């Protein structure tokens, strides 16, 4: 039987159900989202398992997880659904009347760059649009393909840290580099050990407050560089928040390494000084990543443009 005949035998109404099941990993939540009964969703799941000759969703401990086959279905399914939505016709997007939330996987540091330019812009042009910042993790790659997360904004090393090869030609993601940001050292203004510069001996002898995302993903250019060079600094405190580091440094004799954009913002309001580090850190290339299936959607395109302008405005200031 050729592919066209096989396609006619497939109930295409199952595809939106499959999409939502892969997104929620829950029969009950899918039923609620699609305004259907749980028994109807369970029946659809049985048919989908027969269609793909795979369990798709299986219990692991106390939660449902995707099988390998199901994970491999995410990108092509999202692309197919996006093409179908585009074919049928996309409603006009009016930011002035749009009411929705955009979710960005990022760090607090990015929020500090985005907020000063983006929030006033939204208040004026799109008062019904809100933003949620979440921390990336093992599920981020699937979440962004499924539209659970709209954007990732982070150093381009996320390709390695989150197993997201977004720069490969056949990647399900689009991306662009928004900003190049240097890493600098910060110290308390009254630190007696440091004048207007810091040498390697002092740098290695001082206690450090350092950014470290989580046990399985440090997501730190500083730590990665020091490990690669075989240098050992005294990491006394690890934090998940870049923007807390200037406050810690101002109140202690610790030093820290943070992006220059954030250092310059906090040097205006805290008693800290910004120094050239004795270690040559690779500049951070701040990447914005999104699912290719979202590229042509007017609302998503408009929001990306707003974020782009906000980051560049603050990054260039």
Structure tokens at 297: 């959607």
In a domain, 95, yes or no: no
Per the model's pLDDT, the better-predicted residue between 220 and 26 turns out to be 26
The whole-angstrom separation of Cα 126 and Cα 119 is: 10
The answer to whether the beta carbons of residues 288 and 152 sit under 8 Å apart is yes
Whole-angstrom distance, CA of residue 48 vs CA of residue 264: 54
Domain-located, residue 93:
no
Residue pLDDT, tens place only, 293-311 = 888 888 999 999 999 988 8
Q: Which residue matches tokens 């699937």?
A: 142
In a domain, 175, yes or no: yes
Q: Which two tokens stand for residue 98?
A: 């749009």
Considering the domain architecture, whether residues 119 and 108 belong to the same structural domain is answered as yes
pLDDT digits (tens, 9 = 90+) for 125-164: 999 999 999 887 777 888 888 888 999 998 887 766 666 7
Type and span of the H or E element at 314: helix 298-315
**Closest to 174 (Cα-Cα) out of 249, 97, 82:** 82
Q: What 3-state DSSP class applies to 240?
A: coil
Place of tokens 């399900």: 172
CA distance 63 to 136: 20
Domain that holds residue 187: 183-282
- Maximum mean pLDDT: which of 103-112, 170-179, 187-196, 210-219: 187-196
Query: How many other β-carbons are positioned within 10 Å of the β-carbon of residue 5?
Result: 8
Quick check: is 94 in a domain? no
Q: What is the pLDDT of residues 59-105, one digit of tens each?
A: 888 888 888 898 888 888 887 887 776 666 656 788 999 989 999 98
**pLDDT tens string 201-252:** 999 999 999 887 766 666 788 888 888 899 999 999 988 888 899 999 999 9
- The total number of structural domains in the chain stands at 3
CB 179 within 8 A of CB 259: no
- Residue 265 within any structural domain of the chain: yes
Average pLDDT, integer, range 37-46: 88
Q: At what angle do helices 14-24 and 68-88 cross, to 10 degrees?
A: 130
Q: How confident is the model at residue 13 (pLDDT cuts 50, 70, 90)?
A: confident
Is residue 198, in this structure, part of any structural domain at all? Answer: yes
123-162 in b/e form (b: 16+ CB < 10 A) is: eeebeebebebeebeeebbbbbbbbebbbbbbbebbbebb
| Residue 63: inside a domain | yes
The answer to whether residue 76 is domain-embedded is: yes
Take residue 248 and report the two structure tokens written for it. Answer: 């810690």
SS3 at position 197: coil
Per-residue model confidence (pLDDT) at position 39: 86
Give me the pLDDT at residue 200, please.
94
User: Is residue 155 located within the same domain as residue 304?
Assistant: yes
The model's pTM is 0.68
Same domain, 127 and 150: yes
pLDDT at 95: 92
Do both 273 and 187 map to the same domain?
yes
CATH number at residue 162: 3.40.190.10
Do 100 and 128 meet the contact criterion of CB atoms below 8 Å apart? Answer: yes
**Same-domain check for residues 62 and 118:** no
d(C-alpha 220, C-alpha 214), whole Å: 10
Containing 158, the helix (H) or strand (E) segment is helix 158-161
């Amino acid at each position: 039987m050729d592919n066209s005949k096989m396609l006619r035998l497939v109930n295409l109404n199952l595809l939106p159900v499959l999409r939502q099941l892969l997104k929620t990993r829950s029969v009950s939540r899918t039923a609620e989202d699609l305004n259907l009964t749980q028994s109807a969703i369970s029946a659809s799941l049985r048919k989908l398992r027969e269609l793909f000759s795979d369990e798709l969703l299986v219990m692991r401990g106390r939660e449902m997880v995707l099988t390998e086959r199901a994970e491999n279905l995410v990108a092509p399914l999202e692309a197919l659904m996006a093409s179908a939505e585009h074919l049928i016709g996309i409603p006009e997007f009016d930011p002035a009347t749009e009411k929705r939330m955009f979710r960005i996987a990022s760090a607090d540091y990015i929020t500090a760059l985005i907020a000063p330019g983006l929030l006033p812009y939204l208040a004026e042009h799109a008062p019904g649009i809100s933003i949620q910042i979440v921390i990336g993790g093992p599920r981020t790659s699937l979440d962004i393909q499924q539209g659970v997360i709209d954007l990732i904004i982070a150093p381009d090393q996320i390709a390695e840290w989150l197993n997201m090869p977004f720069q490969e030609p056949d990647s399900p993601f689009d991306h662009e580099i928004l900003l190049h940001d240097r890493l600098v050292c910060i110290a308390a203004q009254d630190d007696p050990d440091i004048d207007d510069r810091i040498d390697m001996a002092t740098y290695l002898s001082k206690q450090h407050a350092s950014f470290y995302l989580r046990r399985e993903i440090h997501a730190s250019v500083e730590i990665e560089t020091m490990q690669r060079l075989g240098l050992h600094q005294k990491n006394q405190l690890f934090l998940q928040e870049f923007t807390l580091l200037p406050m810690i440094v101002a109140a202690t004799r610790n030093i820290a390494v943070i992006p220059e954009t954030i250092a310059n913002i906090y040097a205006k309001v805290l008693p800290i000084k910004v120094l050239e580090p004795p270690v040559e850190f690779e500049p951070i290339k701040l990447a914005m990543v999104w699912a290719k299936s979202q590229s042509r959607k007017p609302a998503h395109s408009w929001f990306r443009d707003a974020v782009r302008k906000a980051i560049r405005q603050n990054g260039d200031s």
